[in-house]
Structure 1
């Protein structure tokens, strides 16, 4: 299907005068379950932008909240403005970035590969983007090569914050919206919340071009929570809520032996500002384990954790860096259970010795694997790479989340100061556009196509299911 051809659900943006009066909509460049993305041109100055029309309230709220918090971060995509009014989808106006890291890896695999200095420069930019997120308590929850967009000049920026969360939601925000340590109890608590444009079907006549001009009024936390509950009730669609709550509460991705993974091929041809279906976080504050794309999902998520933190992004970074070094995905699991199996086959058994406290994870005593006597090891997966390069990946791919190196720590690692030095951004080889995979080379993309349901266990051979007091356990040979 031609992605530029409008679908029945994507015509709404063309009928919204507050948008079409400011932007010429050129073509649709991507479509997903919860968003359509268009390439547009700002009429006032001819600047090309991406218009992301999000069909899910929660994703809209989270992306706007995160991007406002991270504005002016050099390695995070810029939110120029947004439109949001009653009975209409949110439309985010984002800077247009023509390609992504997945395309860089694809081109390198077809050609001469990536030089060590190029790999270092890509790593540095990713680390700076993640460091900006984590310093602001934003956990991205879906880091992968196709969500790392790249400008024509080689500047890499984190994008697609529809699954993100701000973990310290009660932190104080100064008047310039910069977080700082809590002070007096009388100090105003100013949340990072999206403005709602207009009343009824009437657009707000003067939408600011720069989100920095959207100054929230000081309110206390109780007022904010009441307003947020009202907005959720006002904008939530009944059918969407039913779909998004199927695995809330105690049922995790693995506990039900279903996946919660409705993400499509992570490197398909659609534009990367795409929202994937995710499960909702619990109202009590527990986080859902069904987030992110499987190949980059941390072990604690695969075992059903709802109390994870920023460290899940660090695991994803390790998988991304390994792919930059080898030009192949490190853990290309075909299901959540297969994903765990691939991780254990490389890193060894996940036990209390390797991760104190792991036995308390919700699904740890439900999923069992035979003991791995001789794990493959990272060195075997990253052949012909230096010890320093393997060590960077090893510092991220730790079973124990507390042992993973932070982005800030890695930015100071001597690896980046040693020869060969990172190449200047201007010398990076940047694909001209982000496009789909080459159908003439099916073997290159075979692993990316099957991210199906965990409910199909035929591929695992011998499976032993045992009933327990709390449910069941499954052992895989």
Structure 2
């Protein structure tokens, strides 16, 4: 750590806090994420190993880069590139609303990052606007891999924890307690983020897990075994019942948008995870081919022009 000068605290991740630092020799700004290991005698926790492993694998332009790992006290410090803003700030900057081409550009960058992760067998499991950071040149990058999981397509029956993903962006199979899910939980989150980019507000803002599920079912309609095979076998399916809902019109869910926009969001927010499009398919969706197309990166908001807002802590979102 003698190489870096800490200049302030900038955020909080799933398993640690993030400081802003400066390389004393080069002047380069960096993000320093401290990962604390509470019980050294039990070894390095799996979640810490997963985050480090994920960052080592990823080298896309749309995923945050890890520069170094430094043992420090009761843990490690991950040295990463510093990105001064995030999509949470952009969404709440009412004085500078995004136009259609800028929204498409952000979605395209998110999907390119997700596509790269999934091609490298990594589920992020906590995609949300606060974890989508923006570099000085306007490029969006996926960050905070504290809940990421490396998976194998050769183990379709492998079980995972369902206590992942910030509630508002949590796929319905997770809300029903599923331990056997796929990388499409990230696609559901992308659909929520896409709707939020247009609505300028979270799509499913539940304050509890039960309310979250109630909002999803009221909005999209009550699922059945026909629309969601295996629904009734999910661990928490019989723990609570909800009033029947036929669902809202998509023109009400995301108003004042095109049919192509609604179709893209709808195909991300599909109850049956097997029918959700993957990132590559979404990138080839007609939404990205119709006018206006995604703008050039030079036309995207730059961090120095984006107001900063306090994001909710990780714990506040559960």
- TM norm structure 2: 0.91
| Partner Cα distance (2:222, 2:153) in 1 | 36
Q: 1:74 aligns with which of 61, 69, 76?
A: 61
Distance 2:5 2:219 in 1: 50
Q: What count of residue pairs does the alignment treat as equivalent? A: 308
Q: After superposition, where does 1:159-198 map in structure 2 within 5 Å?
A: 159-168=143-152
Deviation at 1:353, TM superposition (A): 1.4
Cα distance, 1:124–1:39 mapped onto 2, change above 3 Å: same
- List gaps (5 residues or longer) in structure 2: 38-44
Distance 1:434 1:54, change over 3 A: farther
Which of 45, 48, 65 is the equivalent residue of 1:60? 48
The separation in 2 between residues aligned to 1:170 and 1:403, in whole angstroms, is 19
Structure 2 counterpart of 1:317, from 180, 190, 194: 190
- The equivalent of 1:93 in structure 2 is 79
Residue 60 of structure 1 and its aligned partner are, at CA, apart by 2.2
Q: Which residue of 2 aligns with 1:344?
A: 217
Does 1:379 pair with 2:247?
A: no
- Preserved contact between residue 7 and residue 20 of structure 2 (Cα < 8 Å): yes
Q: What residue number does 1:264 align with?
A: none
Match of 2:167 in 1: 294
Q: Pick from 87, 110, 117: which aligns with 1:133? A: 117
Q: Distance in 2 between matches of 1:332 and 1:58?
A: 30
- CA deviation after TM superposition for structure 1 residue 412, in Å: 1.1
Give the Cα–Cα distance (whole angstroms) in 2 for the partners of residues 33 and 121 of structure 1: 27
Shift of 1:375: 1.6
Q: CA deviation at 1:450?
A: 7.2
Once superposed, what is the RMSD of the aligned Cα atoms?
A: 2.3
In structure 1, C-alpha distance between the alignment counterparts of 2:53 and 2:206, rounded to whole Å:
32
How far residue 112 of structure 1 moved from its aligned partner, in angstroms, is 5.0
Q: State whether structure 2 residue 88 is matched by structure 1 residue 102.
A: yes
Aligned equivalents of 1:143, 1:33: Cα separation in 2: 12
Query: In the TM superposition, what is the alpha-carbon distance from 1:387 to its structure 2 partner?
Result: 0.9
CA contact (8 A) 1:100 1:434 kept: no
1:64 shift after superposition: 0.7
Post-superposition Cα deviations, 1:314-350, rounded to whole Å, max 9, x if no partner, equal 1011000000111111000111111111011111012
Listed one character per residue, the Cα deviations across residues 166-203 of structure 1 (whole Å, up to 9, x for unaligned) are 012989xxxxxxxxxxxxxxxxxxxxxxxxxxxxxxxx
Whether 1:48 aligns to 2:29 is: yes
- CA shift in 2, pair 1:352/1:379, >3 Å: same
Residues 94 and 169 of structure 1, relative CA distance in 2, 3 Å threshold:
farther
The alignment partner of 1:426 has SS state of: helix
Counterparts of 1:411 and 1:393, CA distance in 2: 12
SS in structure 2 opposite 1:365? helix
Cα gap change, 1:162 to 1:32, in 2 (>3 Å): closer
1:118 aligns with one of 102, 105, 130: 102
Q: Deviations over 1:19-46 (max 9, x none)?
A: 11x1122222235684222111112311
User: Which protein has the larger Cα radius of gyration, Structure 1 or Structure 2?
Assistant: 1
Secondary structure of the structure 1 residue equivalent to 2:292: coil
Checking the alignment, whether the CA contact within 8 Å between 2:135 and 2:303 is kept in structure 1 is no
Contact 2:13 2:146 in 1 (8 A): no
The secondary structure found in structure 2 opposite 1:84 is strand
TM-score, reference length from structure 1? 0.61
CA distance in 1: counterparts of 2:122 and 2:218, whole angstroms: 31
Q: Deviations over 1:61-81 (max 9, x none)?
A: 1111001111x2110000001
Instruction: Say yes or no: does 1:330 pair with 2:316.
Output: no
2:139 to 133, 151, 155: 155
1:314 and 1:405 in contact (8 A); partners too: yes
CA–CA distance in structure 2, aligned partners of residues 125 and 436 of structure 1: 22
Structure 2: distance between partners of 1:386 and 1:128: 22
How far off its partner does 1:413 sit? Answer: 1.4
